[in-house]
Copies of this chain bind each other. A is one copy, B any other.
Amino acid sequence: MMTSASELASLAGLLADETRAAICLALLDGRAWTAGELAAHAHVAPSTATEHLHRLVDGGLLTERRQGRHRYVQLAGPSVAHLLEDLAARLEPRQDPVLGLRAVTANAALRRGRTCYDHLAGRLGVAVTDAMTEAGLLDQAGGFALTRAGLGWLTGTLGLEPEDLAPGKRPLARGCLDWTERRQHLAGAAGAKLCQKFFDNRWVARTGSGRAVRLTPDGQAALHDLLGLAGID
């Protein structure tokens, strides 16, 4: 009981430093960063970054992979990303999430997209999520769940492996509050597999070195055919 308080404090303490917070937020793109990159990103000396990375790895938030003279670091898993998203969601004063859903989806183009840990985010992520909701594949009213039709669509039309979508420890479908859009987009196991399939099919591609992604012409055509999305990137 009392021990749990100290453990909670230790866990929170990992994120209670601006430098460590900046590191974790950078890692939210789901990719592995080197220690030096993170040091530069957080504007601290390499030696300082080393200490922080040690604490974060020891605390279970990060995993490391030594490779040559580089030390690659990334988030320990989706649950860590989820935790960070939850915390970050508290920062921005949230506004009404139910606002002109159809108008936004149908008309305003999905201008910019990016990855949020392992799934699609930004306008692209929100647009896909809304389109799936309109098509009856996703139920946003009662929680955030895949419908039976949605499950069939993912495994049938999109060709995802059914075992990848089996009920397991990780939630199948989960809402993730978008920082820029202030809207929910699809996360969880389904969101991750969907995103992966988008990359495999070359419907989206990374632009530059950031977490930004753009829709390819193939992707635009596919989304139009599959979900009726007419947005242009």
Q: Which residues of B contact A171 (CB under 8 A)?
A: 143-144, 175
Asked if A66 lies at the interface with its beta carbon under 8 angstroms from chain B, I say no
Q: From A172, which residue of chain B is reached at the shortest CB distance?
A: B142
Dominant SS among interface residues on chain A: helix
* Per-residue B-contact encoding for A118-153, CB less than 8 Å = 1, 0 else: 000000000000000000000111111111001100
Asked if A69 lies at the interface with its beta carbon under 8 angstroms from chain B, I say no
Asked if A4 lies at the interface with its beta carbon under 8 angstroms from chain B, I say yes
Tell whether A169 pairs with B13 under 8 Å between CB atoms, given A87-B83, A142-B145.
no
Q: Is the CB of A173 within 8 A of B143?
A: yes
> Could you tell me the distance in whole angstroms from the C-beta of A164 to the nearest C-beta in chain B?
14
Q: Is the CB of A12 within 8 A of B9?
A: no
Q: Which residues of B contact A167 (CB under 8 A)?
A: 98, 140-142
Q: From A141, which residue of chain B is reached at the shortest CB distance?
A: B167
Q: Is the CB of B9 within 8 A of A18?
A: yes
| Chain A residues near B (Cβ < 8 Å) | 2, 4-9, 11-22, 24-25, 42, 60, 79, 82-84, 86-88, 90-91, 94, 96-98, 139-147, 150-151, 167-169, 171-175, 188
13 residue pairs of the A-B complex, CB under 8 angstroms, read: A4-B25, A5-B18, A9-B15, A9-B18, A12-B13, A12-B14, A83-B90, A139-B145, A140-B167, A143-B144, A143-B172, A143-B174, A144-B145
Nearest 5 CB-CB pairs, A to B?
A145-B145, A12-B15, A16-B16, A5-B22, A143-B145
